[in-house]
Amino acid sequence: MSQKAIKLFGFPLSGHSHRVELMLSLLGLPSEFVLVDLTKGAHKHPEFLAMNPFGQVPVIDDNGTVLADSNAILVYLAQKYGEVHWLPSDAAGAAAVQRWLSIAAGPLAAGPARARLITVFGAPYNAEEVIANAHALLKVIEAELSGRQYLVGEQPSIADVASYSYIAHAPEGNVSLADYPNLRAWLARIEALPHFVAMPRTAAGLQA
């Protein structure tokens, strides 16, 4: 019996949506992208709020299992459909992945993601502050990637998927990646994975 398509409710320029789109593709899962047009406020419509009361993309519907929050969805997909390297089952490995999911929801959101929100969506953040936040984070990640292929060990995990989108698109928010060779090599390794799918680039910031 073939796997029915998992519906992904998202927005093409949302890094949070792209995390899930990328994971679905890396796992070879059939999916259907359902546009939630953030520019028209579709995420605040009652039918969408019924799926996610926080009014945020992405949401998935896996044949009746409806889940919101990109990192939670990554955990679900890895545990249900993925090989163990995507979400290690040992205590230390699981904790190492969770650490990066917390970083993705914290410093990554407060740095590269917000910097890009300013240039791409006109968000009212302080550009100097969030760009400084971004570089503080990228310096740590650069050091963490010294002598290691991926964020957690030598195989990709959902830690990498959760971190990729906003780091790869950081230049759109005027955050240069020029000083981070380990990080750029890591991005290239992600992009070389079978079934990798890119998020559309916007002509903003350093990409303009």
- 114 and 39 belong to one structural domain: no
Residue range 12-38: mean pLDDT, rounded: 94
Q: How many domains does the chain have?
A: 2
Say if CB 197 and CB 25 are below 8 A apart: yes
pLDDT at residue 2, as a whole number: 63
Q: Please tell me the distance from the alpha carbon of residue 8 to that of residue 57, in angstroms, as a whole number.
A: 9
Task: Using pLDDT thresholds of 50, 70 and 90, give the confidence band for residue 153.
Answer: confident
Pair 92, 48 in one domain: no
Q: Are residues 73 and 101 in the same domain?
A: no
CATH number at residue 46: 3.40.30.10
Report the pLDDT value the prediction gives residue 208, as an integer from 0 to 100. Answer: 64
Q: Select from 15, 48, 82 the last residue of a domain.
A: 82
**What sign does the dihedral 116-117-121-123 (CA atoms) show?**
negative
Whole-number pLDDT of residue 87: 97
Mean pLDDT over residues 172-182, rounded?
A: 96
Query: Domain boundary at 57, 82, 107, which?
Result: 82
Residues 74 and 165 grouped into a single domain: no
Q: What is the average per-residue pLDDT within 8-35? A: 95
> Residue 175: pLDDT above 70?
yes
120 in any annotated domain? yes
* Last residue in a domain, options 48, 82, 116: 82
pLDDT, tens digit, 9 for 90 and up, residues 46-56: 888 888 988 88
Domain that holds residue 10: 6-82
Residue 203 lies in a domain: no
Same domain for 119 and 190, yes or no, is: yes
